[in-house]
Amino acid sequence: MQGDPRSHGLWDATAPPAPATHALTGAAHADVVVVGGGYTGLSTALHLAAQGSDVAVLEAVDIGFGASGRNVGLVNAGMWVMPDALVGTLGADQGERLIAFLGEGPSLVWDIIARHGIACEATRSGTLHVAPDRAGVGELTQRHAQWARRGAPVDLLDGPATAERLGTVHYQGALLDKRAGTLQPLAYVRGLAAAAIGQGARIFTGTPAIGMRADGGGWQVTTPQGMVTAQKVVFATDAYTRHLMPQIRTQQVFLPYFNLATAPLPDALARDVLPQRQGAWDTRQVLTSFRMDQQNRLVFGSVGALRHGGAQIHRAWARRAIARIFPQLGAVDFQYEWHGTIGMTNDHLPRFHELADGVVCVCGYNGRGIAPGTAFGRALALWLLGGNEELPLPPSTPQDTPLRNLKGAFYEFGAQAFHMVDARV
């Protein structure tokens, strides 16, 4: 991958190669131009091409360069907010439609992986939202009740059952979501790209979209060495938006998130940590996430960035936290480290925007990009093709978030301050 060597870490080291692509040169035509080669953009391209649409993807750097190649790899259903809170924001009809839509997201991911033979360490054993204290147990109890009322396959686990699933007695309870699972995120997005190319999509990398103008009822999108003319344009750049449509960025506050990966654990120890290979994250405000990869590495992460002095602070915290949570591991070494950016909206819900006539985007996944991004890509494709597909989000106008840069800095340096003192006792 190009850019910061800490940007993709373990995932770049272990993912299968990306399909061969090149930069766009000269003039091209398409039915739809997709800007951004991540989950949403490539799912849109895959599903458009599968229906016979001529689609061109413009990716500024490499496939999966943004959040799609940097995240933890948890394939979750739903958003961070509780289901009832989502309904409270969108209303009963729209809210329940979005809940049902997001709940089916992991199934779509598993289906695409199976149909296209994507090698991405997919593990369908669920995810665990874990509680370190009584307040966390109370939160999980509410979540369980709200999901169970909607028929979701979720189990509320007590302390002993949680310890059995995690390999630690550090947590008092957990919510097991059986719809969910884990995968190698960069391998998955590269597999989406290969699948889209297999259906006839054209993907151009090293090709930022730097200009756009109306052209005969459609749009002309310019790049450093070429241009594409199309009737429709999809922006799938989210928190990594750069050159065009800055309102996608300015409505979000950016939350940095880092991951550290240990050396492969010995088999005897690896069998004792997350033995059923669920991915996990806790209920704390500055959350901790952890999972295992296929080579028995523990991938451990939290809020923060590995810059401005953060790398040393977060590394030291992670060693202390692992020693507390998994004392059986002893001292650990980290082989890989990387960080990325999560775009947070003010209500923690995604957005659907019609930015201009024939120009659309879905953004603001709030740290839940894999399944929602895949599902929204499919929904956007069907909607653009003019079928009866009704998107599960109402269209909205981007609204700038006041003091967004200040808030982002608070997240970054607040996480450093928290990790300087956390897990010391």
Helix or strand holding residue 232 (H, E): strand 232-235
pLDDT at 389 over 90: no
- Any idea of the CA torsion for 297, 300, 305, 306, to the nearest 10 degrees? -40
> Where does 91-133 have alpha helices with state H?
92-103, 105-116
Give the count of beta carbons closer than 10 Å to the beta carbon of residue 39: 31
Integer Cα distance of 279 and 127 in angstroms? 5
Integer Cα distance of 222 and 10 in angstroms? 34
Q: Percent of the chain having pLDDT more than 90?
A: 95
pLDDT at 6 over 70: no
Name the pLDDT band for 4 (thresholds 50, 70, 90).
Answer: low
Q: How far is CA 109 from CA 74, 112, 213, 281, in A?
A: 11, 5, 35, 20
Topology classification of domain 9-126+179-421: FAD/NAD(P)-binding domain (3.50.50)
Integer Cα distance of 298 and 265 in angstroms? 8
Helices 105-116 and 185-198 cross at an angle (nearest 10°) of 60
| DSSP structural state of residue 223 | E
**Whose CA is closest to 87, among 98, 79, 78?**
98
Mean pLDDT (whole number) for 301-315: 95
Tokens found for residue 60 = 């500024």
| pLDDT tens, residue by residue, 218-236 | 999 999 999 999 999 999 9
Backbone angles phi, psi at 263, to 5 degrees: -65, 155
| pLDDT tens, residue by residue, 107-116 | 999 999 999 9
Q: Percent of the chain having pLDDT more than 70?
A: 98
Instruction: Output the pLDDT for position 217.
Output: 86
| Neighbouring-strand partners of residue 390 | none
pLDDT at 211 over 90: yes
pLDDT at 1 over 80: no
Q: Residue with structure tokens 């006839």?
A: 200
Q: Residue with structure tokens 């953004």?
A: 363
Single-letter amino acid code for the residue at 156: L
> Where does 310-384 have alpha helices with state H?
310-325, 370-384
pLDDT at 398 over 50: yes
Largest CA distance in the chain: 67
Integer Cα distance of 76 and 175 in angstroms? 12
In contact, 150 and 187? CB cutoff 8 Å? no
Integer Cα distance of 235 and 28 in angstroms? 18
Integer Cα distance of 276 and 126 in angstroms? 9
| pLDDT tens, residue by residue, 238-294 | 999 999 999 999 999 999 999 999 999 999 999 999 999 999 999 999 999 999 999
Q: How far is CA 418 from CA 22, 253, 287, 321, in A?
A: 43, 19, 11, 12
CA-based angle 62:64:69, to the nearest 5?
Answer: 130
| pLDDT tens, residue by residue, 32-50 | 999 999 999 999 999 999 9
Instruction: Output the pLDDT for position 2.
Output: 47
Mean pLDDT (whole number) for 108-128: 98
Q: Residue with structure tokens 């009822």?
A: 217
pLDDT at 142 over 70: yes
Integer Cα distance of 231 and 33 in angstroms? 8
Total number of residues shown for the chain: 425
Give the count of beta carbons closer than 10 Å to the beta carbon of residue 351: 23
In contact, 380 and 353? CB cutoff 8 Å? no
Integer Cα distance of 220 and 211 in angstroms? 8
| Neighbouring-strand partners of residue 356 | 359
Model pTM score = 0.97
Integer Cα distance of 198 and 200 in angstroms? 5
CATH 3.50.50.60 positions along the chain are: 9-126+179-421
pLDDT at 72 over 50: yes
| pLDDT tens, residue by residue, 346-370 | 999 999 999 999 999 999 999 999 9
Instruction: Output the pLDDT for position 425.
Output: 67
Backbone angles phi, psi at 311, to 5 degrees: -60, -50
Mean pLDDT (whole number) for 196-212: 98
